Structure 1
Amino acid sequence: MLSAFNPQPTLHGPTLSLRALTEADREPLFSAASDPAIWAGHPAKDRHIRTVFDPYFDTLLASKSTLSVTHKGTGGMIGCSRYYTAPNAPDSISIGYTFLTRPYWGGDTNHQMKALMLAHAFEHVDRVWLHIDPTNIRSQRATAKLGATLTEEGPLTLGGKQGIWQSWCLSRADWQKAINARLN
């Protein structure tokens, strides 16, 4: 990760707060992750099971770049997302390892969360990468709405596991265009 970049900032939006993931978040995040339908579009489809979730949480915590996502209205933890460096973009910032609880699908929540994270990242880089499982259509649609472009699909090692991933790139200029289009 870039040396001047803080991968665990505290970020606030109209309805969301993002902050560094801590050990105290294990139970609230497990509660958020306990719905099997959340993981249907993810490569690891069984993260709703405690014995699978705990090692996943340990990895997120050890990364020191994961942000918990809390809804301001309810005060409840509704998911998480993470900054990371991908092998195909070592001098850039990537955003991923994201999940949200189902009540927050299809609305403004993912956009607001990513907007906060992107604004922070674009203070340091001109491009941000997002990597998506080719079967995760919901994430692909949400990423396209951000203004990102699919650049390639192929083998990539993420989180210590090799798989086939889609690599999406979002430039600062394309992000600004997407924001302007959303405002008009």
Structure 2
Amino acid sequence: MDLQPTLVGERVLLRPTVAEDWAGQYAVASDPLIWELHPARDRWQEAMFRRFFEEALASGGGLTIIDRASGTIIGASRYCFPDPVREEVEIGYTFLAREHWGGAVNREVKQLMLGHIHRFVPTAIFVVGENNLRSRRAMDKIGGVLQPRRVERGNGQMLHDHVFYAVRRAEG
């Protein structure tokens, strides 16, 4: 299963995150409003984002999101915690520049990522901060189904202040 593919859509290009993406990603992530509803509200601070970025590099699943029209970095996402028993992979740690919120870009990013990972596993899991209503609405828009009573992610980590959504591969 390739957790760092290059995915090309009409509006965006997703490619493996590399160390040279630091400045571009931080230019987007340094906007405090991006993290306003997120459990890690301080991620806009350089030291906090540095840790997040280093984790993305080390994860083997980090993807940088590039606007195809301008060629600039507009965000990032990740595939993580493949769970062979449950036949699922988590998609998460996504952030986008505010000018790309609520519309076609986020939908395209998720469609590209889902289309790729559903070639390998039937289910993608999204972990969302319980009070992050913006991200929860985005999950509804892409057909995410809230998972009742689930509190652990694929690596066994317990998360009590998050909710889990599943997007299953269309059959047939």
Q: TM-score scaled to structure 2, two decimals?
A: 0.91
- Structure 1 residue 153: Cα displacement: 4.7
- Structure 1 residue 161: Cα displacement: 7.3
1:111-150 Cα deviation digits (max 9, x unpaired): 0000000000110111111111111111111111111110
Runs of 4+ residues deviating >3 angstroms: 153-163
Query: Is the contact made by 2:81 and 2:153 (CA closer than 8 Å) also made in structure 1?
Result: no
Counterpart position of 2:132: 136
1:18-77 Cα deviation digits (max 9, x unpaired): 000000001110101010000012111111111111111111110010100000111110
- Structure 1 residue 91: Cα displacement: 3.2
Counterpart position of 2:8: 12
Q: Which of 128, 135, 143 is equivalent to 1:147? A: 143
Counterpart position of 1:60: 56
Query: Is the contact made by 1:66 and 1:81 (CA closer than 8 Å) also made in structure 2?
Result: yes
State the alpha-carbon separation in 1 of the partners of residues 101 and 122 from structure 2. Answer: 28
Counterpart position of 1:179: none
Query: Is the contact made by 1:153 and 1:165 (CA closer than 8 Å) also made in structure 2?
Result: no
Counterpart position of 2:163: 166
Identity of aligned residues (%): 34
Counterpart position of 2:72: 76
Amino acid at match of 1:32: V
State the alpha-carbon separation in 2 of the partners of residues 92 and 31 from structure 1. Answer: 32
State the alpha-carbon separation in 1 of the partners of residues 149 and 36 from structure 2. Answer: 20
- Structure 1 residue 90: Cα displacement: 5.0
Query: Is the contact made by 2:151 and 2:158 (CA closer than 8 Å) also made in structure 1?
Result: no
Counterpart position of 2:89: 93
Amino acid at match of 2:161: I
Cα distance change, pair 82–72 in 1 and its aligned pair in 2 (3 A): same
Q: Which of 119, 122, 126 is equivalent to 1:123? A: 119
State the alpha-carbon separation in 2 of the partners of residues 153 and 49 from structure 1. Answer: 33
Which structure 2 segments of 5+ residues have no match? none
Q: Which of 39, 47, 50 is equivalent to 2:46? A: 50
Amino acid at match of 2:166: C
State the alpha-carbon separation in 2 of the partners of residues 76 and 161 from structure 1. Answer: 35
State the alpha-carbon separation in 1 of the partners of residues 120 and 154 from structure 2. Answer: 22
Amino acid at match of 1:144: D
